[in-house]
Structure 1
Amino acid sequence: MTESPMSIPVYEGSMLSLRSTTPSLARSRPMTGLAKRKSEPEPKWKRGDLESKYRCVACSNYLRFPLQFEDCGHHICSGCLPDIMRVSPRCPSCQQPIARDKVVNDKGLQRDIQSLDVYCYYKDKGCDWQGTLKDYMGHVDTCGFVQVDCTNACGVRFERRFAPKHQTEDCPKRTVVCEFCKGNIIFEEEIPHLNTCPEFKVPCPNGCSSQEWPRGQIQNHLDTMCPKQELSCPFGECGCEYRGQRTEITKHMQESPGLHLNLAGRTITIQKKLLQAYEERTNEQKKWIELLSVRVNALDKTYGAQYIWKIDHYQERLEEARTGKKTTLFSPPFLTSRHGYRLALSICLGGDGKAKGKYVSLFICVCRGEYDALLSWPFSHRVTFTLLDQCEDVDNRRPIIYSVKPNICKENKPFLGRPVTERNASFGAQKFTDLDTMGTLEYVKDDTVFIKVEIDNEDMIII
């Protein structure tokens, strides 16, 4: 069984608003059971002073959930016992040592105490409640004479019965509605809010009339309507230094057409010279762009493909593949960029696996490189193989192209993961092109074959 803690008043009397002087740290620090019981106000007993048998020997308040020391027979509140056992396990009355197994609940005494007739502690202030002690704590939770803190945390304490008035009329932290923008604001921030509220009505700073405008619209009034707003002459950018009120600007324009015409003509001349200089500058930049374009094209031709593999002595190598003497050729390793992936090509001129004797098989593998720690894994970039046609007529060339997009999955980690040995297993085109096609056109010329490989770098990390 638990009971709600009683609110502890800081001030006597029935003042409407009193600011608490208790430091915030002290208010927030929880009290121990014994200290809390000592600070709680007792109800007023109908039969005068409370008999000593109903009082706790530790806190001297009435017993709440009484416990009895079997050895000496004294009683103590259950909430006071932990402090007594922690500080000095002795009876506060007779100083006899206390054993934990010699402390028992006295339920009979509890019933007797709870049935005592009492008045409210605040009877002298006007509270007319009376009843038994067991109902007293429930009354305290609603008693209008108990002092409470403002729920808005404004730091004020007052009797509960004054709470509605405080919350609606006196609390500096109560919420109010701005009469101009209809927004909710804190009462103590009302003045700062009104100083910035866009709907607050303000007069024209030029005093052009008695009318007022919402603060958010006053700038538009000054820019478009106010007759007293000081403006520059429309020909100010041409050199006219005149400034005056809006009504005077019209008069100035009517009285000075010759001046403005001369200024406009001079400005046109200056602008024409500037435009001519701009065109010259633009033409110069076009020349630089063309020069850079030529350089970029040259670089594209030089470094357009990541790698071109030249395979010479083709017929000899093809025969070695057919006889099984050397079935696979490997290219030197190459980089996708200066600090990119390190790759290598391999080719089976007589075919690999099920393609043996029918197709040329072409593969690529990821090799261990110096910059692997900086790259993204697994390798996921599209690879394009091209068997180049060496026809002298460029327009009649018919290259054979085969593209492979790596499938990133757990099973393909040996092919695409970061290499832990010198190189990963190869992947690519087992049926790149059939052997008969190799003998057509000019894929083989001067007993030499050229194979180009390109790596898609669209999503590649460039270091």
Structure 2
Amino acid sequence: MLRSPPPSHSAEQNSSIDQGFDLPWEDGRVDKRYECPICLLVQRNPVQTSCGHRYCRACIYAWIRESPLCPTCNSALGTSKMFTDLIAEREIMSLRVKCSNEGCTQTFELANSESHNEKCLFRLVPCPNGCPNLLRRRSLDNHMANLCLLRVKVCEHCSEEVKAEDLPDHLNKCRELQISCELCGCRVQRSELMSHRESVCAKVIIPCCYSRFGCTERMQRQNLPSHYAACVHEHLQLVSQHVSILESQMRPSVASHRPASARLPQQLSFDSPYVTSDLIDTDPIKTAAPGGTAALLNEASDLAAQLVDAKRTIERLTSTVQQQTQKISSLERKIREIDGRHCNGVFYWQVNNYMDYKQTLLQGSTPVLHSPGFYSSFYGYKMCIRLNPNGIEQGSGTHVSVFLHFMKGENDALLRWPFKGKIVLSILDLISPDGCQQHIVDFLSSKPDLAAFRRPTSNRNHKGFGYLEFAPISVIEKGNYVKDNTLVVKAVIECEDESLIA
């Protein structure tokens, strides 16, 4: 029978001593002979007494400090009467246990418990960066690389090292960060934003450079070229007025320095003996006082230089406007080309201001409309739609004529000619509700013997293929096919063989 030790402070000490093993055993429980009678756990460092009982070393040594009697049989005990039970220790250390870390399903001998725990991926460990999180070892790398607020990150803009939790504040003031100009939307470094607005930003409001001559216009920088081009005469007039004002300011100064000869009566004869050569010379520049002459010459020289600069500025701006206009036209063509490539053989052509062509008919002209070019696929055939709103030949005046024309494309040398396939042309019903629409649809099958389907030799084949009488004009204008003065023509291209020549 186990005796309770005498009252003492041992209860407090037992909480800190190394008692027996309290582990999840593989078999659920362990043989009672391995149980320590003091702590009731599996014996750790088992010690056998002279009376034949076995205890945890820490438990029995703590016991005999308070009582010299065996807790099981009351026999006298002493440290000299106890020895380590190596056989029992070997048996206990060979017992199999389950990993105590939640989520881990491994089992192992008790002897390997510490080594497993040191590398167990499910063990809770503190973050090495010092953040307050406890996490499983298997999540540690991801936490350190992506989640820890105390991990060090390098700003991708300025290469400065900052803690992850401080990165948002750093980005709000990073001078190398690309930010959007609030006016024009351009991306510039924060450190260069002011200089961007002072010299580059297209939407900053600035005065006309002729403001010194009296132009009061203020506009966005991007509108300056068009303003200069539209106001050439006004600017020249302002410069001319400025010159006139300066000339009027010069005349009193010159007149005040004229010699007396300039104010002599006209009837005074130059043959008079009282008139000498120095009185006859009335050139205001020559006769002006020395100081006044220099000032007038300098001011006249400045005016001439200003006029030359103004002329050069106008010429330069005119050239810039022409270049920008050419660039814009080139970009618009490229954009239309890209849009045509991505339609993938299904093209919608919006014919705006359709009813306005009636007026051109009243004036005696026959309008012919061509759609932007489009492709059957990204690397396919290029073509366009031709529309004659008043028809041609036997359809003239009664029907709308619709044709398809092949155009020169970037990949013509790699495509197989003549074109073989089917083409579906439609004029869409834009007003009827879904499910009730009555589109005007017709089909075309390629005829390789016709010139219309051969490889183009000009920008657009002169020969087209389609219908002289595609749809009655009365049906188009009075039906559901024109909405908001817009007609929509649809083309669907189905190629038999669009593979490129290898």
Common fold by TM > 0.5 = no
**TM-score where L is the length of structure 1:** 0.36
The answer to which structure, 1 or 2, has the higher relative contact order (CA under 8 A, 6+ apart) is 1
**TM-score where L is the length of structure 2:** 0.33
